[in-house]
Amino acid sequence: MPGRKPSGPGHSPTRSGRGPREWIIRAADPAIEPDTGQTAEREPAMSGVPRLVIAAPGSGTGKTTVATGLMAALAERGLRVSPHKVGPDYIDPGYHSLATGRPGRNLDPWLTSEDLVGPLFRHGSAGSDLAVVEGVMGLFDGVAASPGGPGRHGHFASTAHVARLLDAPVVLVVDAAGQGQSVAALVHGFASYDTRIRLGGVILNRLSSDRHEEICRGALEDAGVPVLGAIRKAGEIETPSRHLGLIPVAERRAEAVRTAGLLAALVAGSCDLDALVRLARSAPASPGPVWSPSTAVTEGGAEPEGDRTRIAVAGGAAFTFGYAENVELLEAAGAEVVTFDPLHDESLPEGTRGIVVPGGFPEVYASDLSANVPLREQVAGFEGPIAAECAGLLYLGRELDGLPMCGVLDTTARMTSRLTLGYRDAVAVTDTVLTREGERFRGHEFHRTVCTPPDRPAFRWRGGADGYASGRVLASYLHLHWAGSPRLAARFVAAARRATHAAAE
């Protein structure tokens, strides 16, 4: 099961494609297929930066608070901190980016294959002094086992799995509310459950008093587990949430900046930063290949030409879900990636030859999206390739909760109270601008909307089907990470280039 929160970029978009590149890197995302190990650069191998993983016994114990606060506190010390998130979550990396000034990046063995976790980590952490990886759910919670499937050996794609792949020490954030000596039994269980995991220490959260802290520290000392931090209940900081988790940074930047500062102060005042840095530096050298977008797209069939083809990526508050590597792959394949905001921009960036509409919260902004008639009409008449996911699918349909959308697709959508989520092992049903019939893709769903079904879906998987496809459009609920199948970037840029040539004739 993927993380309970999807994530977004940490910079506000600007109009007509003139946004800062840091935001662009986090803004896009359409589709993938796992091709194990094919995209790792075989040139100079990095030994890896100091690193640690922030984990917990389960969700709701304070991982995001501690991880984001630690990133921000170390950055305030002058360290270049590389932020990472286990799983497919889109929102947490936006807060990580805000805390560190670097793109938040995901590490997900399911979406990209476990062979690419190390190379992607080395790519993302290049030039940093230290990397902090926030886990997902409980330490050992991953994909459920299935006969012959990737979860058959237990906790595949879990925080523990990623910690093993990175050879990184783990810090366990424990909610100590309502317990004393029992906290030692809990921690002992996590430390002994899988001895391949190196538990480097514990951060106690939600302590009620000095006496409570003393009891818990004493119990853990007897168990031989270092206490690296102790956070009081009064120190908890709430972050606004919505039906799919935290509210993305792009929607509340000023408040998010304030929250990041408060989290930095909380962690700096409650945790032993020096001990945490020493723990990160104790991670052994981990030499290996570094993922390279340029090498990846070449292996994926791209033939970059001299003139770059302009690809417009939807951004703004309504479309904030994206993976950094997707845009890097588009650029490596020969695209000039620009952003536009469907909430405010009345036209596509000049010279646009392809459109990517990522996920987000269009249902929250349906009225404003519908009111931007000039842009909707231009998108409806666009003759180049379009790739869309989840929120992008809703935007391209005829209606969303009764409000007119672009009408590119003959479907209507509405909000429901039912949450649809989970990893999907999908098969392409037909050839599209990105896929070829019979190709397999690993992705994830996370939404509370439903669409009128297509006559023929773009994807099928066990127990389900999804997606709308035509010669130039692919739109579905499936969120995909292109690093596992860089040929998708190559195909999309090639299709946009063909549109460029057609327009010139």
Q: What are the boundaries of each domain within the chain?
A: 40-288, 292-504
What's residue 303's pLDDT?
67
Integer Cα distance of 291 and 313 in angstroms? 23
Residues 27, 11: contact at Cβ < 8 Å? Answer: no
To the query of whether residue 390 is one of the catalytic residues in this protein, the response is yes
What's residue 485's pLDDT?
87
H helix or E strand, kind and range, residue 83: strand 81-86
What's residue 291's pLDDT?
97
Mean pLDDT of the chain: 86
What's residue 42's pLDDT?
40
Pairing of strands 403-404, 399-400: antiparallel
* pLDDT tens digits, 66-92: 999 999 999 999 999 999 999 999 889
What's residue 240's pLDDT?
52
| Strand ordering across the sheet containing 130-134 | 105-107, 81-86, 130-134, 51-55, 170-175, 199-207, 227-232
Q: Report the first-to-last Cα separation within the chain, whole angstroms.
A: 48
CA 27 to chain CA centroid, nearest Å: 11
Q: Which fold has domain 292-504?
A: Rossmann fold (3.40.50)
Q: Which residues of the chain have pLDDT under 70?
A: 1-47, 144-154, 234-246, 250-251, 300-306, 501-505
What single DSSP character describes residue 413?
Answer: E
Residues 80, 128: contact at Cβ < 8 Å? Answer: yes
- Fold matches, 40-288 and 292-504: yes
Angle at which helices 273-281 and 63-76 pack, to 10 degrees? 90
Integer Cα distance of 485 and 138 in angstroms? 29
What's residue 301's pLDDT?
65
Residues 219-234 as b/e (b if ≥16 CB within 10 A, e otherwise) read: bbeebebebbbbbbee
What's residue 300's pLDDT?
62
Residues 417, 393: contact at Cβ < 8 Å? Answer: no
What's residue 304's pLDDT?
64
* pLDDT tens digits, 184-197: 999 999 999 999 99
What's residue 145's pLDDT?
53
CB atoms within 10 A of CB 503: 11
Residues 190, 234: contact at Cβ < 8 Å? Answer: no
What's residue 299's pLDDT?
76
Integer Cα distance of 39 and 143 in angstroms? 24
Strand-pairing partners, residue 53, are 133, 170
The residue annotated as part of the active site, out of 216, 271, 390, 451, is 390
Considering the segment(s) 40-288 as one domain, its CATH architecture is 3-Layer(aba) Sandwich (3.40)
Burial of 414: CB neighbours in 10 Å, binned 0-12, 13-18, 19+: middle
What's residue 333's pLDDT?
95
Indicate the pTM of the whole model. Answer: 0.86
